[in-house]
Amino acid sequence: MSVHKNVLKVIGCCLETELPITVYEFAGTKILSTCIFATNDEPLPWKCRLKIAIGIASAVAYLHTAFSRPVIHRDIKCSSIILDQNNVPKLIDFGLCISIPEGESHVEADVIVGRMGYLAPEYGGRGYLTEKADVYQFGILLFELLSGQRAAYFMMEHDITDIGKLCFGKLSNFIDSRIKNERIDQVQLLDFATLSRRCISYEEEERPTMIEVAKELRRIDQRFPSPS
């Protein structure tokens, strides 16, 4: 799992303690949630946010496809991502990961874990777990990168699946005010918001795969390059 550049690398294991301790690389102390939600810090520019989304999409797609049994992260959120000194994102917090058994298409989870409101409906409601649960959480991550606000606050007044409908025609209401002065292509922002909406579709069949998500993010980045 640690060969991907956007996954925190495992260096080894310490056996000199009562319980074994996994040792990871030191990749920095910046947590994405602090960088996005803290109002007293210098905001991450849009170009950086887009690169973070691309990197984490690639990491999650790697978990889903690089192994004989797909690995579902189950805890994709801003606080599960750290940034190195160059703002390269690293996915962390693998304690809730679960593999889909060989020959099966899903897992029936006995215990539902994760933050309520951030769980895919089919998982939070009946414990039905596929890779599309990660896609749902990634869609929420995209919303938070775009808006600079916690999705939990948004959900106090709206259903999270309303994001796409509310963005169309009112996109400026959802963009982080701290990046509004940047010269960002409006079509790029709309495409980003649309992808977020697709990822958090209520029906899992309507959500794209993480490979498709990563491909679309790269298209958005390359077709509408952010200004330097």
Task: Specify the CATH number for the domain of residue 162.
Answer: 1.10.510.10
In the predicted model, is pLDDT for residue 83 greater than 80? yes
> Residue 119 is encoded by which pair of tokens?
């769980």
> Contact, 78 vs 141, CB < 8 A?
yes
Residue 5 lies in a domain: no
Residue 2 lies in a domain: no
Return d(Cα 69, Cα 1) in angstroms, integer: 12
What is the radius of gyration, based on Cα positions, of the chain? 17
Amino acid at 51: K
Question: Of 41, 75, 176, 221, which residue is the catalytic one?
Answer: 75
> Contact, 30 vs 37, CB < 8 A?
no
Residue 111 lies in a domain: yes
Mean pLDDT over 72-94 rounds to 94
Return d(Cα 81, Cα 89) in angstroms, integer: 6
pLDDT at 118: 86
Q: Token match 């703002």: residue? A: 87
In the predicted model, is pLDDT for residue 225 greater than 80? no
> Residue 108 sits in which domain range?
10-223
* 193 or 213, which is more confident: 213
> Contact, 93 vs 75, CB < 8 A?
yes
pLDDT tens-digit readout, 153-198: 766 666 666 665 555 557 777 789 899 888 888 889 989 999 999 9
* 90: β partners: 82
Cβ-Cβ contacts under 8 Å for 121 (sequence gap 6 or more): 136, 202
pLDDT at 57: 99
pLDDT at 80: 95
Return d(Cα 130, Cα 204) in angstroms, integer: 9
Beta strands in the chain (DSSP E): 10-14, 21-24, 30-31, 71-72, 81-83, 89-91, 98-99, 107-108, 128-129
Q: Comparing C-alpha atoms, which of 133, 131, 138, 88 is closest to residue 113? A: 133
Residue 93 lies in a domain: yes
* 30: β partners: 83
pLDDT at 152: 77
In the predicted model, is pLDDT for residue 1 greater than 60? no
Return d(Cα 226, Cα 46) in angstroms, integer: 8
pLDDT at 130: 97
pLDDT tens-digit readout, 90-142: 999 888 999 999 999 999 998 899 887 789 999 999 999 999 999 999 999 99
pLDDT at 227: 54
pLDDT tens-digit readout, 9-43: 878 888 888 888 878 788 777 999 999 998 767 88
Amino acid at 166: L
Q: Reply yes or no on whether 110 is catalytic.
A: no
pLDDT at 183: 86
C-alpha dihedral, 216 to 221 to 223 to 224, nearest 10°: 130
pLDDT at 34: 93
Decide: residue 62, CB within 10 A, 0-12 exposed, 13-18 middle, 19+ buried: buried
pLDDT at 95: 86
Return d(Cα 170, Cα 14) in angstroms, integer: 52
> Residue 150 is encoded by which pair of tokens?
């916690």
pLDDT at 167: 58
> Residue 27 is encoded by which pair of tokens?
């990749």
pLDDT tens-digit readout, 198-208: 999 999 999 99
Q: Token match 């649309």: residue? A: 194
Amino acid at 94: F
In the predicted model, is pLDDT for residue 226 greater than 60? no
Mean pLDDT over 51-80 rounds to 96
Q: How many domains does the chain have?
A: 1
